[in-house]
Every structure is written in C-alpha cells, then in structure tokens.
Amino acid sequence: MPTTERVLVENRKARHDYEILETMEAGLQLTGTEIKSLRAGKGNLRDSYARVDRSEVWIHNLHISPYDQGNRANVDPLRERKALLHKEEIRRLLGKTREKGLALIPLRIYLTQGRAKIELALARGKRQYDKREAIAERETDRERERVLKHGHDE
C-alpha cells in the first residue's frame, strides 16, 4: 500500500543557504494542539536547526503558532521539540555534526499515515559566492530551456 505524504511546513531557504549532503526522516514529538496548528499551516522552519544534546536530537527555533481553539493546552511557540531517532542514527549524527562546518537543518515537516515526521538534512553552509554561482547556473538553465522550447527565432 503506497504511503501518502502531506507536507505541512517547508524550509525553502535551506536549499539556497546550505549544501545538502544527506537527508533522513525522524519522528517529531508534539502536543495535540501543536499538531492541529501544523495541520492548519501555522508553522515556520525558517531559522530552525537541530542539535544533538545528551544522546537526543532537539529541534530549536521551530515556531508553531498557538492553536486558535486551544486553551491552557497551548504551549510556548518556540519551545524545543524532540526528534525521534534510533540510537545508532543519533550516534552517527553526533560524529558528523562535530565535523567542521556541518549542521543539522530541518527541511520540512509532513504527515505520513497520521504521524508527524521531520526531514533533517546534514548540510554545510554555502558561501556568498556559491549562492551567486547557483543563481547564475539556474538562470542559464532557464534561458537554455526557453530557447529549446520556443526555437531560435525569438
């Protein structure tokens, strides 16, 4: 049976700011009002990052707005949230993130079979000239596609 994914939040700027080396899926420990708020599209991954701390992976700066119909069950929108991974994966990530210049960046939060999952990426920050190079490459690809699509007459 094919699994269906529904993307709730995406970090679009991550692929621009970082060179993605590897991605992995992790569970996300949320409260009931947080998942309801995410289903309503009230999340933001823009400045978020993950860190291995005491053999656990924690997501920092993940903003989930308080649920509109929530009451005292609403929690702090910027609280640290736990990513659920196996111990071997956490140990491997700990070794990789200790390498110079590597970070653990959340790319997107999605639902699979009713469960909230987060896609984490092991990434290296891009320099400003790398970003400019990527933009220039993308522009030449678009121009090439336009010429191929419409012919040489334009």
pLDDT digits (tens, 9 = 90+) for 122-150: 988 877 767 788 888 888 888 888 888 88
Confidence category of residue 100, pLDDT binned at 50, 70, 90: confident
- On whether the CB atoms of residues 31 and 73 are closer than 8 A, the answer is yes
Q: What is the pLDDT of residues 34-81, one digit of tens each?
A: 888 888 888 888 889 999 888 899 999 988 888 877 677 678 778 888
* HSE-CB for 49 with a 13 A CA cutoff: 14
What is the pLDDT at residue 146?
Answer: 86
- DSSP collapsed to 3 states, 18-41: EEEEEEEEEEECCCHHHHHHHHCC
Provide the whole-model pTM.
Answer: 0.75
Homologous superfamily (CATH) for 5-125: Small protein B (2.40.280.10)
